[in-house]
Chains A and B, each alone.
Chain A
Amino acid sequence: MVASQCTGQRWKPQLLSCASNPIGEVGEVIGEGRVTREVLLPARRPEVWAALTQPDQLAEWLGGEVQFDARPRGRLAVRGGAGADRQGRVIAVNQPYRLVIEWWEGSAEEPPPVTRVEFVLQEEGGGTRLTVSEWPLEQTACTEALG
């Protein structure tokens, strides 16, 4: 289920290839590390962008009380929704195409950020295709460090 939803850069199996190896397959899914969802939304791209960046609209679908400053290094705070309270900040913003934030559970201002979330908006048939990916942040740095 998760595997079919994952996209992005895949490992080219030049080292060993064994498609029927379940440990290997699960390892590939986890190694990819990205959870990805796509949805076709019934609204033009600027409207979807507004729903992703305006605090009152974010509150409608994220739940709870939302503060958000959709500028580079702008802060995000989500409180009192159905899920956990969250803090976050903007990493990249390219209106109305792409938004990247990192966020973490809890109310601390500067804990080690846990995950990064990327929103990509594409126009499609009068609506907007939104692709959301979330992945643990430390992954890339660690791979580089260990070679």
Chain B
Amino acid sequence: MSKRERDVDAVFQALADPTRRAVMRMLSDGPRTATEIAERLPVSRQAVSKHLVALDEAGLVRGERAGREVRYRLTPRPMAGALSWMTEVGAEWDERLERLRRHLRR
């Protein structure tokens, strides 16, 4: 796998989880700490922290120390790579299926 594919794969893995998608939604309103996120989701603070680590590894959030806590903010740029992968794969299938249709029409 190329670096790009690994990066894209990390984003897919990170966003495959509904709780992590909910965390992303919440952070799109502004930076929050793990405690603040946990208050608004039906999961524990420890679980939120684990999900934040997964999102951080995919490059989707970044933590900044704020006093005794870490405040996380969204860094959504890697999502573009995943979307462009989906667009490219879709375009490839559009072309292949058009050739298949013509092949079967003969």
B86 CB, min distance to chain A CBs, angstroms: 5
CA distance A57 to B106 in the complex (A): 12
Q: How many residues of A contact B (CB 8 A)?
A: 48
B61 CB, min distance to chain A CBs, angstroms: 11
A119-141: which have CB < 8 Å to B? Answer: 130, 132, 134, 136, 138-140
User: Interface residues, chain B, CB within 8 Å of chain A?
Assistant: 1, 5, 8-9, 11-13, 15-19, 21-22, 24-26, 28, 40-42, 47, 50-51, 54, 74, 76, 79, 82-83, 86-87, 89-90, 92-94, 96-97, 99-105
User: Interface residues, chain A, CB within 8 Å of chain B?
Assistant: 1-2, 5, 11, 15-16, 18, 21-24, 26-31, 33, 35, 37, 39, 41-43, 47-48, 51, 57, 60-63, 83, 111-112, 114-115, 130, 132, 134, 136, 138-140, 142-143, 146-147
